Structure 1
Amino acid sequence: MNLLIKSATIVDSKSDFHNQSVDILIEKGFISQIAKTLKNPKKYKELNLDNLHISQGWFDSSVSFGEPGFEERETIENGLKTAALSGFTSVAVNANTNPVIDSHSDVLFIKSKASGNAVNIHPIGALTKESKSIELAELYDMTNAGAVAFYDYQKPVANPNLMKVALQYASNFDGLVISFPQESKISGLGVMNENVTSTSLGLKGNPALAEELQIARDLFLLEYTGGKLHIPTISTSKSVELIRAAKQNKLNVTCSVAIHNLIFDDTELKSFNTNYKVLPPLRTQDDINALIDGLKDGTIDMVTSDHNPIDIEHKKIEFDFAKYGTIGLESAFGALNTILTTKKTVEVLTKGKQRFNIESSPVAIGNKATLTLFNPNLTYTFTKEHILSTSKNSMFENKELKGKVYGIISNNTLILN
């Protein structure tokens, strides 16, 4: 692919052209020239977009598609198209399929289904066989097939010895263990945050304590075993404190937060809209403030859409019985850009690559063109028309967002909305 991009503002702190408005020449998928103004003697296609900003390609560390087994929720093909049009050039895909992705051949299946796509797919293998928390899955074999981490999606490992062994074993090949932060005996049958709101609504509560106990346990295990631990989608102020202290203690731990947990609090559930039923649950405004502070000071390493398509049959039912999950790829940038600066938004959408051993390609001459194109200033109301996923379970519907994605350049391909 050959392309001349005109008048683009670079948003990439690792680029020599950060904050500059430049022309970018791409030849055969690589950035060959960057300058204030470039001519086009070879008559390449030119790209001229309103208030165009460009950064290195974004990465989402927690995406669920459904295929194989739950294609009615989302297919890999449409999921990757959605990711591309939402600005993501790489996604880590969870193992919550049917069958669960827990073997060498399962990982190869995911990668083969995405072969030749503009978006790079990085399978996360299950940590335990069939995600049943009884015995470890084939971690090393899955690594050889291309798995980037190991995680029983939204299923806590109850047995501390199993988590201890996982951390010890994975450290032999620099494997990344992901542990969902919930102590299930404490969370019980809770379907939302345990708080005055849950009492007033008559819904069973899932207390912050359930998350914090599990995190404290896993951090003790990490200190004992060594290894690499990632704690996904934290949601409470105390969780931020625990991880901040662990990092000060030089433990090899990272964490993420779901974008919706940075924006919505548990009072949204007064409508009993099941799109707001997520795991971990929406917490309080005090928790949100602590999470945002944790992002700003680097305690929280990355954000994720935690994109989880759920078909209408499992969402349009009584709140207690509805499945957890919201889609979030399409709204990710516009939502984050309403609460953070554009520079910080781009930073937290790209920062997770290193932890998951994914190639980072700054906007620099000679580098592969792996780029996200966007307008950070356009405000709009997010409606069903903006949803690209097969499932429509978005909690951002009818919310005001700031920032529109134009598309991506990745794997020698230009994809535009």
Structure 2
Amino acid sequence: MNILIKSAKIIDEGNSSLHLKKKDIWIKNGRIEKIADKIVPKGQNKVIEHKDLHVSAGWLDTGVSFGEPGYEDRETIENGLLTAAKSGFTDVILNPDTYPVPDSSSDIIFLKNAAKDSTTSLHPLGALTVKSENEDLAELFDMKKSGAVGFYDYKKPINNSNLLKIALQYAQNFDGLVFSYPLDKNIAGKGIVNEGSVSTRLGLKGMPAMAEELQIARDIFVLQYTGGKLHIPTISTANSVKLIADAKKKKLDITCSVAIHNLVFTDNKLESFDSKFKVKPPLREKADIKALIGGLKSGTIDYVTTDHRPMNIEFKELEFDNASYGTIGLESAFGILNRILDTKLTISLLTKGRSRFGIPEVKIKEGANANFTLFEPKTTTQFKKENINSRSKNSMFIDEELKGSVVGIITENDIQIN
């Protein structure tokens, strides 16, 4: 299919000749054939025109969960990737949040094959340990060869410091990226929400910020000893930002991410005991949100993620103590980020991360493969349940104001226009 994008403002800070310029872009057989002020192409083309149309490199989410295999009732790979495409993401990194967890090369191959015909590309993470049981390392090298972009026991901390040491040392042999979830289980105890005045008032068991921060401090000490590549997913506290900033000053190879909902909501949302707001790490306080946003602006926090986790209703519509953790966030991601940050920073964050995970970089230039997200940045709307494309509807963003909207994506594989 040949595609002509008409009069789109290009957002590409790395290319001063095109950045913030309005151009026509002609895509022929999945490649950028021409970029010019005005293009009148030959032959039949699909023309994309939209008021205040903007185009950037395709967006990447560094941590989503679907369900397949094992939890297809929550979400399938096919529909999950369609949801990602409609939400503006050309690439997603898939958490090993399935049953069984992907801890072998054949599991990674299954996930890659299940996604091969989708417009959005799927990049799976392999489990760090066998069955994510935190005991023996999984087949890291074989999974890397099969397409795993990192190794993570999803939301499960590495309790054994020596296991983290061995993982970091071993993964250096093949440039592997080790994930370490920031939680000291002994300090967290049976806590399910942020420890503070809200948890005390509501009678909910608190999870202190220190439980996250102690684990990050330990991980940094281990990384300083071993070397290697470490990623800390979904930090949530002000002191965590400081710890990572200090580690980066020491030139350690460490990156981290923050979940979008931890940039928006505080634990005051728990007053209604609505389990949509039960997430891990928990919603924290205003001072934490301020520090997290500051960390994004300074570059201390590398990536934002939706931490998208579909969960069927029977696991969320329970007493708060018994409800499962997680919220979906793909559909609302751009509109929420663009509301709380400026558009420039929003797009910068959504397009970052490919090199860290060994995914080819995206270039907006003639001759390059097409990998675009199309959007408009100004219209305000209210996010409603009917805007959800996911099979599960557990979104904490329902009734929130969104700024901007996704027009669609174009990749060398296909096109998705909303």
Classify the TM-score, shorter chain. Answer: over 0.9
- Partners in 2 of 1:72 and 1:46 — Cα distance? 37
Structure 1 segment 204-215 matched on structure 2, within 5 A: 204-215=205-216
- State how far apart, in whole Å, the 2-side matches of 1:212 and 1:45 are: 51
Alignment correspondent of 2:12: 12
Q: Which amino acid aligns with 2:318?
A: I
- In the TM superposition, 1:267-416 aligns within 5 A as 267-416=268-417
Map Cα deviations across residues 116-174 of structure 1 (whole Å, 9 max, x no partner): 21111101000011001011111001001100000001000101000110000001110
Does 2:156 align with 1:149? no
Q: Matches of 2:46 and 2:417 in 1, distance apart? A: 14
What is the identity, as a one-letter code, of the residue corresponding to 1:91? V
Contact persistence 2:2–2:44 (CA under 8 A): no
- 1:352 partner SS: coil
- Residues 3-402 of structure 1 mapped to structure 2, 5 A cutoff: 3-15=3-15, 16-402=17-403
In structure 1, distance between residues paired with 2:33 and 2:42: 14
* Deviation by residue 1:32-72 (Cα, 9 ceiling, x = unmatched): 11111112333422111121110000001101001000001
- The CA distance in 2 between the partners of 1:232 and 1:21, in whole Å, is 36
For the 8 Å contact 1:117–1:411, the answer to whether it is kept is no
> Hey, what's the Cα distance between the residues in 2 that align with 1:57 and 1:147?
20
Distance in structure 2 (CA, Å) of the matches to 1:276 and 1:11: 33
Counterpart secondary structure, 2:310:
coil
Aligned-residue offset at 1:306: 0.4
Deviates more, 1:114-123 or 1:245-254: 114-123
SS at match of 2:156: coil
Listed as ranges, the gaps of 5+ residues in structure 2 are none
Gaps in structure 1 of 5+ consecutive residues:
none
Task: Tell me how far 1:362 sits from its aligned partner.
Answer: 2.0
Distance 1:166 1:18, change over 3 A: same
* Equivalent pair of 1:28/1:412 in contact (CA under 8 Å): no
Q: Which of structure 1's runs of 4+ aligned residues deviate more than 3 A?
A: none
Contact 1:333 1:404 in 2 (8 A): yes
**CA distance, structure 2, for counterparts of residue 41 and residue 312 of structure 1:** 51
Look up the equivalent residue of 1:160 and give its one-letter code. S
CA contact (8 A) 1:7 1:21 kept: yes
- Matched residues in 2 for 1:163 and 1:412: separation? 38
Q: How much does 1:85 deviate? A: 0.3
Deviates more, 1:6-15 or 1:83-92: 6-15
Task: Tell which deviates more after alignment, 352-361 or 55-64.
Answer: 352-361
Contact 1:370 1:409 in 2 (8 A): yes
Deviates more, 1:61-70 or 1:44-53: 44-53
Question: Which whole-Å CA distance do the structure 2 matches of 1:342 and 1:141 have between them?
Answer: 40
1:2–1:28: 8 Å Cα contact kept in structure 2?
A: yes
Q: 1:411 to 1:41 in 2, by over 3 A?
A: closer
- The answer as to whether partners of 2:31 and 2:412 remain within 8 angstroms in 1 is no
Letter in 1 for 2:355: Q
CA offset at residue 366 of structure 1?
1.3
Q: Letter of the aligned partner of 2:403 in structure 1? A: K
Does the 8 A contact of 1:74 with 1:391 survive in 2? Answer: yes
Amino acid at match of 2:245: R
8 Å contact kept, 1:61–1:91: yes
Query: Partners in 1 of 2:404 and 2:262 — Cα distance?
Result: 19
CA distance in 2, matches of 1:350, 1:319: 35
SS in 2 for 1:150: coil
Partners of 1:271 and 1:337 in 2: how far apart? 27
| 1:338 aligned counterpart, secondary structure | helix
1:3 partner letter: I
SS in 1 for 2:404: strand
Instruction: Name whichever of 174-183 and 355-364 sits farther off.
Output: 355-364
User: Quick one: distance in 2 between partners of 1:270 and 1:363?
Assistant: 47
The separation in 1 between residues aligned to 2:139 and 2:239, in whole angstroms, is 34
Q: Amino acid of the residue matched to residue 113 of structure 1?
A: A
Residue deviations 1:156-197 (CA, integer Å, cap 9, x gap): 010100011000000111000000000011111111100001
CA distance in 1, matches of 2:211, 2:85: 35
| Secondary structure of the corresponding residue to residue 337 of structure 1 | helix
Secondary structure of residue in 1 paired with 2:162: helix
Q: Normalised by the size of structure 2, how large is the TM-score? A: 0.99
Q: Residues 119 and 411 of structure 1 are in contact (CA less than 8 Å); yes or no, is this contact kept in structure 2?
A: no
1:411: how far off?
Answer: 2.5
SS in 1 for 2:125: strand
Q: State the Cα deviation string for residues 11-40 of structure 1 (Å, max 9, x = none).
A: 111233111111111111111111111123
Task: Measure the CA separation in 2 of the matches of 1:193 and 1:362.
Answer: 41
The number of equivalent residue pairs is: 417
Letter in 2 for 1:324: Y
Spell out, residue by residue over 1:278-300, the C-alpha distance to the aligned partner (whole angstroms, 9 max, x if none).
00000000000000000001000
